[in-house]
Structure 1
């Protein structure tokens, strides 16, 4: 985890020496040579500082005066009085201004680093929020973003690679997966990387359409075709000509309309209601469903010939509960969207991640988005904390492991989660290995094993 430290001192030599020391163990250090500059930096900084080290005797403003002004801007900001002046008057002034503690400039490097590490750990526990700028954007995450997804898991990365591989084909593609797992995003990504990205992407949710009007919505109608048809209407297939048509929840299509869809797939022709002639269409069809179409075929509610036509190429989305690594970047993205839309600045404390990662998410990404928006809109302060979350997050989500295989899997997940959190909190891998009481090469083994 990258901690940001602000050093405030009019002694340039001390500034540079302290910066070199902190930077050598991985801290992101910003320098200010006096009070006014420090206040300006804090006021205009988009990201919080984990800690500020504040000298006391400086020209223009004493350290205690600077602390007072900074606390008006950031009430929860941690500030250590970093000075040689340990007189009662100076210490009293610093503490009254809001300093967290006192740290002697002459302290040994080990003592200095240990104190800063403790304060950063406290920042993590009490103040750090889920922030998109804290996410390390590696090649994998960048690849996922460029594909049009949000996340960092290996599962999502593989899905994005599969999308890129089959997108150039014009073959009909079926997307399987639970509701709320982003099947329409997959369809849009297929269109984006196809040979038709400049043409239309048209989507229709079959389940949301009235069965009586679905025929007209898909294939269009001619004026006078039925009561109320006062003018010609272009259907989704014509709208998507030369582009892509996404048929969401294809399992809800009425049986009698499945014949017309089959004809489109076979002949690439449509017949609007009331028309005497067919019309050719060049459409890449992508369908999606959360239902088991094979069972529907066996039950006689879905045509077998249509089933095989649809299952030309297949992609499958994964439930959110099986890719907890994606939760943090998703929460960060949804938080940014909600704040921008509502013109406020609110966030989630990182302590919420623990509960978000262990929750079952029956509604998947759609439920997560709704949860983020609801909590931010109803927040009584600028930061939503663990104790502010709905009671559902505090209920046990999974049954206790019983078999030896279940116990092994449970322990593996616990180890992965714990090591991941330690790595985030520690300023360096050496420090993380020390906290875990393992050798650095042992830590490196787990990092490679779980791609941390």
Structure 2
């Protein structure tokens, strides 16, 4: 068959069928394209993250993932990249899903090879004729999203977050985001809104910890004139302001009991009344809540309603602290330097050695702390390339946190253990320590590790074994051998 004129560009092919990959690769190569092919969704995602490819041709179902679930992440990462989706599950729902998640084109299997080539040429031509489209799309999708932190990261921990988010984008399911301060909880909430079907509606954020407790109900539900002393006119609450959009309830653990009761009623009945009012108002919002606290502990001490927790915790998302995804630090640091330059600060680069210094930190303030440091370095560093010595000097001047023992702040676990071992060897002068060092050191590490894990799980040995990554019988044996007390239902330490 005759082929279109030389297409050019690089095409990424993802299909778990080797024969299909071969046919497409040969045809596109003859049409003048450079081709890379894989049978893995994870490999495709890595290539996209690395900036490879001008067009993607992908099957929907692959052994390690669903391309339609991956598409929202591709759209966020590279909104200009056309993705042509093919599927043997050629139902109307597959086509609708492909359109909803932003596929450039959907083609059922078995496909017409000529049509595939024509669609690839059309996609490449669209990039050539409108080179400014990518920047315009990025600027449009980024509008109003610069508060908080960018969703950046190739780590396994963040990939799990992306996977859950992709499945939630076009639903109204209530989401509970849990994470330490500075991990980007509001940004995730904004992303769920900005890429979901409610994106045309407002995004309204409320921080429970920042509002006087006696004003929270009025803030959320509004009030009528004369409802209480000082209510000189009607006030519209956040539920009304967020109509058709998303209501983000940050630090939900700080909500007082009375407001919890009213919120539960709204979630159950889908309507509310203003304080002092009688007319029910439909609650046409998606609710996303967030907290840095352990709500189960608050339930145990009676300060948070258990029934409200289950209403809010329909889909939980845990944001990992930065110390659990240190491999993301280089990408984050570079992104923050680019943002600083966009904001008018001097344009800076950062050396590989400096990035290694950053990766060794514990970051109690998480990604927000890293962002602030990079802005400070961009403003104060005289060199065009930020070196390791500059980073170390700046880090040495930062306030210490009580999160780690003295002498271990900013150090990795390995560095802390090494420091203790050096001190132990030093105590014995020129002579070696007594025999049995290995078992003694392992015991000293295992005992607090297991005890603290059991404390965190309130004595739940099955959950503790899962967290530790060991067999439950192994855990029981270690508890017995190390003589660790276990008390079910309360924290031990």
Q: TM-score, normalised by structure 2?
A: 0.51
Name 1:217's counterpart in structure 2: 219
Name 1:396's counterpart in structure 2: 411
Name 1:14's counterpart in structure 2: none
**Cα 1:182/1:214, change in 2 over 3 Å:** same
In 2, distance between residues paired with 1:218 and 1:302?
A: 18
How big is the shift at 1:343?
Answer: 4.6
Alpha-carbon contact 1:144-1:157 (below 8 Å) kept? no
Name 2:178's counterpart in structure 1: 176
Alpha-carbon contact 1:222-1:229 (below 8 Å) kept? yes
Within-5 A mapping of 1:368-379: 368-379=370-381
In 2, distance between residues paired with 1:252 and 1:192?
A: 26
Q: Deviations over 1:169-207 (max 9, x none)?
A: 212111111111111121122223332121111111111
Name 1:92's counterpart in structure 2: none
Name 1:103's counterpart in structure 2: none
Within-5 A mapping of 1:1-400: 136-137=50-51, 142=74, 145=77, 149-389=151-391, 390-392=394-396, 396-398=411-413, 399-400=416-417
**Cα 1:356/1:239, change in 2 over 3 Å:** same
In 2, distance between residues paired with 1:381 and 1:213?
A: 50
SS at match of 2:206: strand
Alpha-carbon contact 2:347-2:378 (below 8 Å) kept? no
Out of 315-324 and 184-193, give the one that drifted further. 184-193
In 2, distance between residues paired with 1:215 and 1:236?
A: 10
Out of 146-155 and 328-337, give the one that drifted further. 146-155
Alpha-carbon contact 1:143-1:157 (below 8 Å) kept? no
In 2, distance between residues paired with 1:242 and 1:269?
A: 14
How big is the shift at 1:342?
Answer: 2.3
Q: Deviations over 1:85-143 (max 9, x none)?
A: xxxxxxxxxxxxxxxxxxxxxxxxxxxxxxxxxxxxxxxxxxxxxxxxxx833698846
In the comparison of the two structures, how many residue pairs are matched? 273
How big is the shift at 1:168?
Answer: 2.1
**Cα 1:310/1:201, change in 2 over 3 Å:** same
Q: What RMSD over aligned residues (CA atoms) do the two structures have, in Å?
A: 2.7
In 2, distance between residues paired with 1:247 and 1:288?
A: 6
**Cα 1:196/1:315, change in 2 over 3 Å:** same
In 2, distance between residues paired with 1:179 and 1:145?
A: 24
How big is the shift at 1:325?
Answer: 1.9
**Cα 1:166/1:343, change in 2 over 3 Å:** closer
In 2, distance between residues paired with 1:295 and 1:396?
A: 29
Alpha-carbon contact 1:250-1:287 (below 8 Å) kept? yes
SS at match of 2:200: coil
SS at match of 1:150: coil
Alpha-carbon contact 2:177-2:289 (below 8 Å) kept? yes
**Cα 1:164/1:369, change in 2 over 3 Å:** same
SS at match of 2:287: strand
Name 2:116's counterpart in structure 1: none
In 1, distance between residues paired with 2:325 and 2:212?
A: 35
Report which of the two structures shows the higher radius of gyration computed on alpha carbons: 1
**Cα 1:345/1:153, change in 2 over 3 Å:** same
In 2, distance between residues paired with 1:283 and 1:270?
A: 12
Specify which structure has the bigger relative contact order, considering alpha-carbon pairs within 8 angstroms and separated by 6 or more residues. Answer: 1
How big is the shift at 1:153?
Answer: 1.6
Name 1:40's counterpart in structure 2: none
SS at match of 2:182: coil
Gap regions ≥5 residues in structure 1:
1-134, 408-452
Alpha-carbon contact 2:345-2:379 (below 8 Å) kept? no
**Cα 1:186/1:275, change in 2 over 3 Å:** same
In 1, distance between residues paired with 2:195 and 2:390?
A: 42
Name 2:41's counterpart in structure 1: none
In 2, distance between residues paired with 1:173 and 1:222?
A: 30
Alpha-carbon contact 1:249-1:290 (below 8 Å) kept? yes
In 1, distance between residues paired with 2:306 and 2:188?
A: 25
